[in-house]
Amino acid sequence: MTIVAKDLEPADIPDHFDNKHYSPYRFFSAEEWSKFRADTPLTLTADEVQRLRSLNDPIDLSEVRRIYLSLSRLLSAHVESSQMLFAQRQRFLSMPEEAKTPFVIGIAGSVAVGKSTTARILAELLSRWPSSPKVDLVTTDGFLYPNAVLQRENIMDRKGFPESYDTGALLRFLSAIKAGKPYVKAPSYSHLTYDVLPDQFKIIDRPDILIFEGINVLQSRNLPADGKIVPMVSDFFDFSIYIDAEESLIHSWYVSRFMQLRETAFKDPNSFFKRYAQVSEDAALAIAEGLWQNINLKNLRQNILPTRPRADLILQKGENHLTATVALRKL
């Protein structure tokens, strides 16, 4: 009998959440994952967790115990291994001893899915390891083009899409971080004014660990036919995390958050969105649905979700906004 090989079609390749047999990931329920924390101490208080979580995010100490202590322990192993490899490579190359480069963790996922909470919780936990590493957190919001540029290019309604970011500035920043340069500037962003803050920066000075959070940090790009080096943001990551949830859940979380902000932050006279606080509840709900359907859902489907398989670890959330499944890439 002759067997004829054929190319795999997309339909032949199983989804990594639906067909685990073919997946490059190992899957764990939240309860299974929680057992990996071993004797990792809980160094956060309930008040600190409440301060760190974002609006509409119900994370509490129980969730930190279930998910984040095990994740902290895993990351500790990765950081330690990375530092050992760095030292071994220095000896291999017979190079003079240099300061180790920061360990960079990328965190990606849709709007309203809980990236910021995850980033802040992790930053606090990692900084409280016994070795007291220096941990910095930077978001990609500051690397968006200013609103004036987006309006000039007629892409204001694509804010958050890959083309709305200054990719050159992103790559220069991460390159400087990985080179171990001191006092690297990260541009600042105001969610109140919904714009980059001119001449305001966060100074990143040779951290042991940098957490880099943003919706599209795992985004790939077209590769040149001539084989020239074309770096991607994720090339600078030592470990990457994708915060995941069903589309319908993210939709409901986004709209719920919008309606809550309408009663809080949007009422600030300096808020870019203050006009949304002045309309009726029905009108505000229609606006939230329109923003979701015309901007955020498109970005999720076209740009964000396709990057999920590139992550080292995926935290998939359930209806209660808490982690239900953890997927860890196999070594």
Binding-site members for ATP are: 109-116
C-alpha 254: how far from chain center: 17
DSSP strand pairing (103-109 vs 239-244): parallel
> How far apart, in whole angstroms, are the C-alpha atoms of residue 146 and residue 156?
10
CA distance 88 to 323: 37
Q: Is the dihedral of CA 175, 178, 182, 185 positive or negative?
A: positive
3-state secondary structure of 241: strand
What is the pairing mode between strands 209-213 and 239-244? unpaired
b/e per residue 32-48 (b: at least 16 CB within 10 A): ebbeebeebeeebeeee
Angle at which helices 247-262 and 281-291 cross, to 10°: 140
Give whole-number Cα distances, 221 to 88, 104, 167, 233, in Å: 32, 20, 11, 10
Q: Which residues are annotated as a binding site?
A: 109-116
List the one residue out of 211, 217, 53 whose CA is nearest residue 137.
Answer: 211
Q: Name the amino acid, one letter, at 282.
A: D
Distance CA 174, CA 142 (A): 13
Cβ neighbours of 330 (radius 10 Å)? 7
Tally DSSP H helices, then E strands, for the chain: 10, 9
Q: In whole angstroms, what is the distance from residue 24 CA to residue 327 CA?
A: 9
* Phi and psi angles of residue 245, each rounded to the nearest 5 degrees, phi first: -165, 160
